[in-house]
C-alpha cells in the first residue's frame, strides 16, 4: 500500500495531530477523575444551608420523614431515603443556591462546580431572586406566596413556558436562568451544577411535602399587571423618587450594588453586574415580573409595604438604567450598552454632585 | 495479497466505479448531517433532512450541469429555519411542520424571483472569492465547534449567540463531564479516519472505515457493558420511511398573520441558499476547470425548492463541505451526486436497522473531519499575499463567528465593494516632466486625486504647455467630462490620446518590477 505523501513534514503534522488528541484525552481523563474525587468529598455547608438542611432533617438513610411536614400537618409523611451521595449532592446544590459566587467557599471553583464560569459579573447569586435559599417563608413559617420557590417549581417540572409556549423541563428552566437573569451562559444540562441544584430542589419538595404536578401559591411570581393598579400609568419620574427613598440605600443611587471588602453585600440592579436586557426581570421586556417580585420581596424586612403602582414605577425606573445587552440583541447593541454602562454612571454622579442632591457615596462596583 | 488488493481497488476505481464510490461516500457523509440538521437545528423530524438529501440532491443534480455540485440539507439554512419558526409554534408539532413547509415554499418562490429578475441575480456576484473562502473556513471551524458536545455524548448547547464563547464552554464540558465511552468511540473513529486518509488506496474510503470502526467498538461496548451502562446515543431507525412523503404547506386564512411574520425569515433563507450556491459554484468552477454559469445553479435551486415543500423535505442549497469532498475525490460527472441520492434512498430503505446502530459520537467525529477539510491552507495563504484581500478574508471569517453567516456575507461583500471603489478612487496618475498621464477611471471619486496633481503641474512655470495624456483611461463619467472641458479652456493644456500601441509596448518593456505594484509606483510619482 502506498502512502499518499511521504516526507517528514507530513509525518510530523500527523504526529502533532495525534499527539494533540492524546494530550486532550489525558487531560479529559484527569479532569474526570478530579470531578469524581470532588463528588466523594464531604461538603462544607454555608451557615444558611447548615441551618436549613438541619431543620429539614437531611440525613442518609433508608427512609426520610420531614420534620416540617410533621410539625405542620401532624402527619408523618414517609418517603424513600437518601444515600450518602444523594446527601452530598443536595448539600452542594444548597450551597450553589445560597452562594453561587463562592464568597463563603475556601475554593470556589471546586466547591461550586465552576459556577462563576457561567455568570458574567461578580454579584449574581440564585438566592437574590429565589430568596430564603429557594424556600422563602413568612414569619409564621409558611411558604411565602409568589416567592419563586424552587420546591414548588420542581413539582411543576415539565411545564409549558408561558411566554414561548415551549415545554421546558426543570433542568432547562435552570439553564435559562444563567443566560439572561445572570447575564451569562448555559451550563450543559448534564453538568453537576444543574444536577445538584435539581437534587436540592427535589429534596425541598419532599421536605415541604409538596405533591408532584400541583400548583402552589409560592411557585413563580404574582405578576403585577397594569390593569391591577389604579391605572395612572407607569411613571419613570415617580419611580425614580420611590427608588431613592426605598431602594437606593442598599442598591446604590445608580443601582450598582454595594460591595464591602471585595464581597458583594447587596446586588447590582443595573450596570455590568446586573441581569441583562432580555431577562424577564427587565420591565421593558416583560412588564409584570419585576413589579411582582418587588411587591412580594422588597425591601427586605418590609415586604409588602410597596403599593402595586409603586412596584411598577420602580421597576420601570430600574429597567431604564444601563445594563448589559441580551443574548439575542446582537454585537452592536452589546457594544452600545457597554458604552452606556461605562459612560453614564460617572456622568450622572458628576451632575448629582454638582447639583448637591447626593453626597458622593461608595457605589462599590 | 497487498498487490491483489491494490489491483482490485484500481479496477474498482475505474471511471464509473469511482463515481459510484464517491456517491456512496457522499451518501454516508450526508446521512448524519441530514439527521442532525433537521432534528437539532431546524426542529423538524429526521425524515425532512433525509428526503432533502435524497430528492433535493437528485433534483439539483439533474437540473444543474455542474459536475461538482452537491445540494441537500445545509446547517445554516436549518439554523435559520429553527430561529424563524421558534416564536410561531412549538417545535416538532403539526403546526410547526405546516409553517415550516410554507416557509420553504416562500423561500423557493423568492429564489424564482432572483432567477426571473436578472439584476437581482447579478447582485449575488458581489460575493467575491475571499468572502466565500472566509465564510467556508468560518463554517468549517463552526462545524468542528458544534460537534464537541455530541462527540462526548453530551446534549447540544442550544444557545446560538456568542458562538466562540459557547464553543469554549462546550470544549470545557467535554473535558470535565463528557461520557468517556462516547469519547472513546469518537476518538477511534477520528483516528481511523485520519490515519487511513494517509494511504492513497484508502483515501476515499476513510470516512466509511472510520464509521465502521466506531460502530464496531460501540457494539462491542454494548455487548459487554449494555447500552444502559454506556449511555451512548445511536442514530434513530429510519427504515419505516418510504420513497416520498407527500405534504402540503399551511396556507389557511387563520395562519396568515404568522405567515406574514415569517416572510423576513423566508428572504433570509432564500438569500442564504443562493449565496452559498453561487459562491460554491464559483469556487468549484475555478478548482475543477469547468465553467458553469451561476444562473444554472439559481435555476436548479429555485425549482427544487418550489417542489421540495410538497414532499416533506428541507430546502436545498450547495454544500461547501460535500463539494470539497467531491473535488478532493476527483469527480468527473454528475453521476456521483445523482448516485449519492439513490444510494441514500437504498441505505435508508434496506439498511435502516444497521444505520440505526451508528453511534452519534462517531457521526460527530466525521463532521469534525469534514469541517477540518473545509479549511484549505493553500487558499488562505493566497489571500494573505495581498493586504486588502487578507482584510476581506479575515473580516468574513471572523464575522461568521460574530454576526452569523448572513452577517458574514453582508460584511464581506460590503468590504469588497469598498475596496474596489477605493482602488478606483486612486487612479494611476503620473507627472513626467510636463506630461500628466492618467490611467484608470476619471469619475467623481477619483477627480480630487487627479485635480491635485493637475494643479501642481499647472503651477509649474518651467514648462510652457501641459500635456494631459488619457490614452489609458477606460471610463469617464459626466463630471469627468465637465472637468476635461473646463481644463480644455486653459491655453497651456493640450490633450493627448494615443492608441497606437507605442505606450503599451513601452510599459511592457521597462521596469518589470514596478509594473506589478502599481500602487507603489503611483505613490512615488505623487
Domain housing A253: 230-355
Size of interface A-B (CB pairs under 8 A): 99
Are residues A238 and A176 part of one domain? no
DSSP run (H or E) holding A65: strand A63-65
Q: Is residue A222 part of a domain?
A: no
B429 DSSP β-pair partners: B438
Judged by DSSP in three states, B340 sits in: helix
Give the mean model confidence (pLDDT) for residues B228-243.
Answer: 75
Residues from chain A that touch B199, judged by Cβ atoms under 8 A, are 1-4
Interface touch B194/A17, C-beta < 8 Å? yes
The span from the CA of A104 to the CA of A85, in Å, is 22
Tell me which of B413 and B502 has the higher pLDDT.
Answer: B413
Same domain (yes/no): A269, A330: yes
Tell me, what's the pLDDT at B417? 78
Nearest to B442 by CA among B495, B491, B500, B386: B495
* Cell numbers given for B162: 456568542
| pLDDT of B247 over the 50 cut | yes
**Helix or strand or coil: residue B484?**
helix
Q: How far apart are CA B3 and CA B17, in angstroms?
A: 19
pLDDT at B327: 84
DSSP conformation letters of B459-495:
T-TT-S-EEEEEEEEEEE-HHHHHHHHHHHTSTTEEE
Percent residues over pLDDT 70 in chain B:
88
Q: Cβ–Cβ of B180/A32 closer than 8 Å?
A: yes
pLDDT winner (highest mean) among A342-346, B75-79, B184-188, B458-462: B184-188
Q: A190–B154: do the CB atoms touch at under 8 Å?
A: yes
Indicate whether A18 belongs to any domain: no
- For the domain covering B426-525, report its CATH number: 3.30.750.24
Query: Is pLDDT at B499 greater than 70 in this prediction?
Result: no
Tell me if A283 is assigned to some domain: yes
Per-residue pLDDT for B300 more than 60? yes
Tell me whether residue A109 is in a domain. Answer: yes
- Measure the CA–CA gap between B356 and B65, rounded to whole angstroms: 34
Q: For residues A205 and A219, is the Cβ–Cβ distance under 8 A? A: no
- pLDDT winner (highest mean) among B86-90, B338-342, B408-412: B338-342
With an 8 Å Cβ cutoff, the interface of chain B facing chain A consists of 2, 5-6, 86-87, 89-91, 149, 154-155, 157-159, 161-162, 165-166, 169-170, 172-178, 180, 183, 187, 190-191, 194-195, 197-203, 402-403
Taking each continuous run of H as one helix and of E as one strand, the counts in chain A are 14, 6
Tell me what the mean pLDDT of segment B149-166 comes to. Answer: 75
Three-class SS of A20-60: HHHHHHHHHHHHHHHHHHHHHCCCCCCHHHHHHHHHCCCCE
In this structure, what DSSP letter does residue B237 have? P
Q: Answer yes or no: is pLDDT of B443 > 70.
A: yes
* Per-residue confidence (pLDDT) for residue B302, from 0 to 100: 94
Residue B316, pLDDT above cutoff 90: yes
Confidence grade of residue B379 (pLDDT, cut at 50, 70, 90)? confident
Domain count of the fold of chain A: 2
Instruction: Quote the distance between the C-alpha of residue B415 and its chain's center.
Output: 18
**B469 with B502: CB under 8 angstroms?**
no
Among B90, B157, B190, the residue with its CB nearest the CB of A21 is: B190
B104 or B498, which is more confident: B104
Do residue A130 and residue A240 come from a single domain? no
Report the mean per-residue pLDDT for chain B.
Answer: 81
- Determine the average pLDDT of the residues in B387-402: 84
Q: Are residues A175 and A243 in the same domain?
A: no
Residue A350 lies in a domain: yes
Grid coordinates of A1? 500500500
B176:A35 CB<8 A: yes
Instruction: List b or e across A29-60, with b for residues whose CB sees 16 or more CB atoms inside 10 angstroms.
Output: eebbeebeebeeeebebbebbeebbeebebee
Q: Do B478 and B444 form a contact (C-beta atoms < 8 A)?
A: no
Same domain, A235 and A297: yes
Are A29 and B191 in contact (CB < 8 Å)?
Answer: no
**Residue A23: inside a domain:** no
pLDDT tens digit at each of 365 positions of chain A: 555 556 777 888 889 999 999 999 999 999 999 999 999 998 899 999 999 999 898 888 898 988 888 888 888 888 898 999 999 999 999 999 998 988 888 888 888 998 888 888 888 889 998 988 989 888 888 888 888 899 998 988 666 666 656 667 888 888 888 888 888 888 888 889 999 999 999 999 999 888 888 888 888 888 888 888 887 788 888 899 999 888 988 898 888 888 888 888 899 999 889 998 888 888 878 788 899 888 888 888 888 888 889 899 999 999 989 999 887 777 788 889 999 999 998 998 898 888 875 554 544 44
The CATH number linked to A299 is 1.10.760.10
Give ∠ CA B517-B522-B526 in degrees, rounded to 5: 155
Q: What is residue B271's three-state secondary structure? A: helix
Report the C-alpha gap between B201 and B223 in whole angstroms.
Answer: 33
pLDDT of B190 reads 93
Q: Is the pLDDT of residue B517 over 50?
A: no
pLDDT of residue B169: 85
A-interface mutation test, from B165, B177, B205, most A Cβ less than 10 A away: B177
A327 shares contact with chain B (CB less than 8 Å): yes
**How close is the nearest chain A Cα to the Cα of B190, in Å?**
9
pLDDT reading at B507 higher than 60: no
Q: Do B172 and A117 touch (CB under 8 A)?
A: yes
Q: What is the pLDDT of residue B204?
A: 67
- Tell whether A3 is covered by a domain: no
CB contact under 8 A, B90 and A165: yes
Q: Measure the CA–CA gap between A195 and A35, rounded to whole angstroms.
A: 13
A1 chain-B contacts, CB cut-off 8 A = 2, 5-6, 199-202
Same domain for A62 and A195? yes
Do A241 and A181 lie in one domain? The reply is no
Cell of A7: 516526507
Q: Single out the residue in A172, A207, A242 at which a domain terminates.
A: A207
For the full predicted model, state whether its pTM sits above 0.80.
Answer: no
- CA A210 to the chain's CA centroid: 22
> Are A2 and B180 inside 8 Å of each other by CB?
no
Same domain, A189 and A303: no
The answer to whether position A340 is within a domain reads yes
**Is the CB of residue B131 less than 8 Å from the CB of residue B416?**
yes
Q: How many CA atoms lie within 13 A of B26 on its CB side?
A: 40
Comparing A37-46, A259-268, B376-385, B399-408, which segment has the lowest mean pLDDT? B399-408
Task: State the maximum Cα–Cα separation within chain B, in Å, rounded to a whole number.
Answer: 99
Complex ipTM > 0.85:
no
CB distance B170–A188 less than 8 Å?
Answer: yes
Amino acid at each position: 500500500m502506498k502512502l499518499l505523501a511521504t516526507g517528514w513534514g507530513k509525518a510530523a503534522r500527523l504526529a502533532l495531530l495525534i499527539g494533540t488528541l492524546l494530550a486532550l484525552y489525558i487531560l479529559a481523563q484527569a479532569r474526570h477523575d478530579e470531578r469524581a474525587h470532588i463528588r466523594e468529598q464531604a461538603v462544607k455547608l454555608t451557615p444558611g444551608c447548615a441551618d436549613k438542611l438541619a431543620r429539614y432533617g437531611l440525613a442518609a438513610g433508608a427512609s426520610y420523614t420531614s420534620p416540617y411536614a410533621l410539625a405542620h400537618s401532624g402527619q408523618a409523611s414517609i418517603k424513600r431515603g437518601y444515600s450518602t451521595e444523594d446527601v452530598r449532592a443536595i448539600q452542594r446544590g444548597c450551597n450553589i443556591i445560597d452562594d453561587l459566587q463562592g464568597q463563603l467557599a475556601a475554593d470556589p471553583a471546586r466547591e461550586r462546580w465552576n459556577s462563576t464560569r457561567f455568570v458574567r459579573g461578580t454579584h449574581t447569586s440564585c438566592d437574590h431572586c429565589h430568596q430564603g435559599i429557594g424556600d422563602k417563608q413568612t414569619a409564621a413559617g409558611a411558604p411565602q406566596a409568589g416567592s419563586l420557590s424552587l420546591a414548588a417549581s420542581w413539582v411543576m417540572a415539565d411545564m409549558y413556558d408561558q411566554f414561548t409556549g415551549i415545554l421546558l423541563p426543570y433542568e432547562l428552566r435552570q439553564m435559562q436562568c444563567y443566560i439572561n437573569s445572570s447575564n451569562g451562559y448555559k451550563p450543559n444540562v448534564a453538568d453537576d451544577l444543574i444536577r445538584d441544584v435539581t437534587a436540592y430542589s427535589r429534596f425541598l419538595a419532599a421536605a415541604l411535602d409538596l405533591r408532584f404536578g400541583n400548583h402552589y401559591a409560592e411557585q413563580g411570581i404574582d405578576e403585577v399587571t397594569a390593569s391591577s393598579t389604579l391605572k395612572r400609568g407607569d411613571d419613570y419620574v415617580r419611580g425614580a423618587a420611590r427608588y431613592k427613598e426605598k431602594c437606593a440605600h442598599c442598591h446604590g443611587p445608580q443601582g450598582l450594588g454595594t460591595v464591602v471588602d471585595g464581597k458583594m453585600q447587596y446586588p447590582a440592579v443595573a450596570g455590568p453586574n446586573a441581569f441583562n436586557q432580555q431577562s424577564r426581570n427587565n420591565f421593558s421586556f416583560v412588564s409584570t415580573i419585576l413589579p411582582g417580585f418587588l411587591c412580594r420581596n422588597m425591601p427586605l424586612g418590609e415586604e409588602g409595604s410597596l403599593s402595586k403602582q409603586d412596584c411598577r414605577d420602580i421597576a420601570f425606573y430600574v429597567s431604564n438604567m444601563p445594563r448589559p445587552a441580551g443574548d439575542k440583541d446582537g454585537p452592536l447593541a452589546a457594544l452600545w450598552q457597554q458604552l452606556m454602562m461605562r459612560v453614564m454612571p460617572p456622568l450622572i454622579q458628576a451632575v448629582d454632585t454638582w447639583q448637591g442632591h447626593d453626597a458622593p457615596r461608595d457605589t462599590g462596583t | 495479497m497487498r498487490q491483489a488488493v491494490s489491483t482490485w481497488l484500481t479496477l474498482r476505481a475505474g471511471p464509473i466505479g469511482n463515481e459510484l464510490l464517491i456517491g456512496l461516500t457522499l451518501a454516508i457523509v450526508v446521512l448524519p448531517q441530514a439527521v442532525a440538521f433537521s432534528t437539532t437545528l431546524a426542529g423538524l423530524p429526521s425524515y425532512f433532512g433525509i428526503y432533502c438529501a435524497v430528492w433535493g440532491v437528485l433534483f439539483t443534480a439533474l437540473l444543474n450541469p455542474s459536475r461538482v455540485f452537491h445540494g441537500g440539507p445545509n446547517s445554516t439554512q436549518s439554523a435559520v429555519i429553527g430561529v424563524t419558526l421558534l416564536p410561531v409554534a412549538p417545535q416538532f408539532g403539526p403546526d410547526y411542520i405546516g409553517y415550516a413547509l410554507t416557509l420553504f415554499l416562500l423561500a423557493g418562490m423568492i429564489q424564482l424571483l432572483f432567477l426571473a429578475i436578472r439584476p437581482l441575480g447579478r447582485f449575488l456576484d458581489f460575493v467575491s472569492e475571499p468572502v466565500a473562502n472566509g465564510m467556508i473556513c468560518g463554517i468549517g471551524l463552526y462545524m468542528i465547534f458544534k460537534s464537541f458536545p455530541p462527540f462526548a455524548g453530551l446534549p447540544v448547547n442550544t444557545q446560538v449567540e456568542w458562538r466562540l464563547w459557547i464553543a469554549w464552554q462546550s470544549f470545557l464540558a467535554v473535558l470535565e463531564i463528557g461520557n468517556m465511552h462516547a469519547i472513546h468511540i469518537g476518538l477511534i473513529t477520528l483516528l481511523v479516519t485520519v490515519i487511513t486518509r494517509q494511504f492513497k488506496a484508502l483515501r476515499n474510503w476513510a470516512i466509511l472505515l472510520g464509521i465502521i470502526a466506531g460502530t464496531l467498538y460501540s457494539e462491542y461496548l454494548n455487548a459487554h457493558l449494555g447500552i444502559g451502562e454506556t449511555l451512548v446515543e445511536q442514530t434513530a431507525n429510519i427504515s419505516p420511511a418510504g420513497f416520498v412523503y407527500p405534504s402540503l404547506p399551511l396556507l389557511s386564512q387563520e395562519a396568515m398573520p404568522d405567515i406574514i411574520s415569517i416572510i423576513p425569515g423566508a428572504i433570509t433563507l432564500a438569500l442564504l441558499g443562493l449565496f452559498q450556491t453561487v459562491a460554491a459554484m464559483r469556487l468549484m468552477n475555478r478548482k475543477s476547470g469547468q465553467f458553469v454559469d451561476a444562473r444554472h445553479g439559481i435555476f436548479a435551486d429555485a425549482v427544487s425548492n418550489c417542489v421540495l415543500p410538497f414532499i416533506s423535505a428541507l430546502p436545498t442549497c450547495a454544500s461547501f463541505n460535500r463539494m470539497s469532498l467531491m473535488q478532493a475525490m476527483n469527480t468527473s460527472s454528475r453521476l456521483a451526486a445523482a448516485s449519492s441520492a439513490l444510494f441514500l434512498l437504498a441505505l435508508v430503505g434496506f439498511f435502516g436497522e444497521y444505520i440505526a446502530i451508528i453511534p452519534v459520537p462517531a457521526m460527530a467525529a466525521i463532521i469534525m473531519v469534514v469541517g477540518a477539510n473545509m479549511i484549505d491552507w493553500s487558499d488562505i495563504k493566497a489571500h494573505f499575499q495581498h493586504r486588502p484581500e487578507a482584510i476581506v478574508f479575515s473580516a468574513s471569517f471572523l464575522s461568521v463567528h460574530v454576526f452569523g453567516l448572513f452577517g458574514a456575507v453582508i460584511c464581506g461583500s460590503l468590504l469588497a465593494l469598498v475596496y474596489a471603489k477605493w482602488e478606483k478612487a486612486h487612479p494611476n496618475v503620473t507627472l513626467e516632466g510636463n506630461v500628466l498621464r492618467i490611467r484608470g477611471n476619471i469619475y467623481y471619486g477619483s477627480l480630487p486625486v487627479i485635480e491635485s496633481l493637475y494643479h501642481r503641474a499647472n503651477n509649474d512655470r518651467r514648462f510652457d504647455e501641459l500635456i494631459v495624456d488619457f490614452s489609458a483611461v477606460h471610463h469617464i463619467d459626466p463630471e469627468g467630462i465637465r472637468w476635461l472641458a473646463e481644463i480644455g479652456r486653459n491655453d497651456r493644456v493640450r490633450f493627448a490620446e494615443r492608441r497606437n500601441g507605442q505606450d503599451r509596448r513601452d510599459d511592457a518593456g521597462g521596469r518589470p518590477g514596478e509594473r506589478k505594484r502599481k500602487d507603489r509606483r503611483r505613490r512615488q510619482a505623487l
